[in-house]
Structure 1
Amino acid sequence: MKNLNICIDIDGTITDAYYWLNITNKHFNKNITEQQVTKYYIHEVMGIDAKEYEKFYEQNKIEIHSEQKLREDAQMVIKRLSLIHNIYFVTAREESLTMFTHSYLKKNDIPYDDLFVLGSHYKVDKARELKCNVFIEDNYDNAIQLSTAGYKVLLIDTNYNQKPLNENIVRVYNWKEIYSIINELLLQSEAM
């Protein structure tokens, strides 16, 4: 039997947080740097209308997501965690990207028990359904929703999630730190 149910976001969490920057800068003729990405929503960062960004994204989503590089140590840590824990990817990506996302994870040799492509940033119901013990996320609003609902959240540090945290959220800086914290959580759960 596996120990913890670990829910993991994909974009910006297992992948580089600024994966979309080059292609988006090029398309909108901007020169935004990673340091200037202080908001989560890309149209706000770019200073363009949401509809304009949505049209660009719809036409370029496969290329945008295909070029995503994994964060350092993400694959290695997830492989180790998958040996004794359930790994569930829970992403806000639109449902049309389900097969593409399965392929991306397989291509990058990332093990998982299941993938949920929600088409929405609201993840609390899925966390509840999966009996989530810890949720790894990069979106500040998602982290607040999940933590307020009682879930432990590991918020991977980015320029766009620098607001104050509550007691259920721990800011983490890399995947090795995530591995260490999950091991501590496992020890705590075994001691109960």
Structure 2
Amino acid sequence: MKAKRFGIDIDGTVTCPTSLIPFINQDFSLNITLDDIKKYDLSEALDIPAERFSDWFNKREPAIYASSPLAEGAKEVLLKWKEQFQLFFISARRNHLMNITERWFEEQDILYDRIELIGSHDKIKAAKQYKVDIFLEDKHDNAVSIHEELRIPVLLFNTPYNQDPIPDGVIRVDNWAQAEQWVNRWVHPTKAVSISENSY
């Protein structure tokens, strides 16, 4: 049995958080960058009526997910982790997008133990079901609620839209290299004694 179980969000975590931007710019005649998105709710962030944005997203979702680029460094880290840990990808995507999601993982050559598309941002039930020991996420309130409910560390991938304060058990990382470094210290704490000592 592998020692640790990882719960991992997909969009904005494994995929690059800029994935939607080319589609938004094209379809809404905008010229935004990731730095312009200060809120997770894109209709609010971009001042587009919620119903209009929702209709657009429902139509564009398959194309967006099929073409989403990987976050830099994600593949290299996930390939290493798959040798040591169990990987459960838990996403708010709806289940009818499973075929597109599985195909994307296959094309990216990313292995996994399970993909769970729950159709909701409430990932606590799935995280409990799979008994994950750590979670990786980009949505601020998800990260906080998962940590507070399950009392596990959550790595929050830093973006302009998740800058609210976080509790101690939620750890900001700027990229997958930092995530890997943090996990190495977490899994092998005795090797990080000198790091801990230097922090006091």
TM-score under structure 1 length normalisation? 0.94
Contact 1:30 1:46 in 2 (8 A): no
Q: What is the distance in 2 between the residues matched to 1:106 and 1:138?
A: 23
Q: What is the distance in 1 between the residues matched to 2:101 and 2:92?
A: 11
In the TM superposition, 1:110-189 aligns within 5 A as: 110-149=110-149, 150-188=151-189
Contact 1:89 1:114 in 2 (8 A): yes
Match of 2:30 in 1: 30
CA displacement at 1:188 relative to structure 2: 4.1
CA-based RMSD of the aligned residues comes to 1.3
In the TM superposition, 1:64-79 aligns within 5 A as: 64-79=64-79
Q: What is the distance in 1 between the residues matched to 2:24 and 2:46?
A: 8
Q: What is the distance in 1 between the residues matched to 2:102 and 2:63?
A: 16
Once the two structures are superposed, what CA deviation does each residue of 1:55-77 show, in whole Å capped at 9, x if it has no partner? Answer: 11121111111221101110010
Percent identity, aligned pairs only? 31
Q: What is the distance in 2 between the residues matched to 1:114 and 1:64?
A: 21
Match of 2:80 in 1: 80
Once the two structures are superposed, what CA deviation does each residue of 1:93-114 show, in whole Å capped at 9, x if it has no partner? Answer: 1111111111111110011100
Q: What is the distance in 1 between the residues matched to 2:157 and 2:128?
A: 21
TM-score under structure 2 length normalisation? 0.91
Contact 1:32 1:46 in 2 (8 A): no
Partner of 1:141, secondary structure, is helix
In the TM superposition, 1:10-29 aligns within 5 A as: 10-29=10-29
Moved over 6 A (4+): none
Q: What is the distance in 1 between the residues matched to 2:179 and 2:100?
A: 26
Contact 2:154 2:170 in 1 (8 A): yes
Once the two structures are superposed, what CA deviation does each residue of 1:39-67 show, in whole Å capped at 9, x if it has no partner? Answer: 11111122111111111112111111122
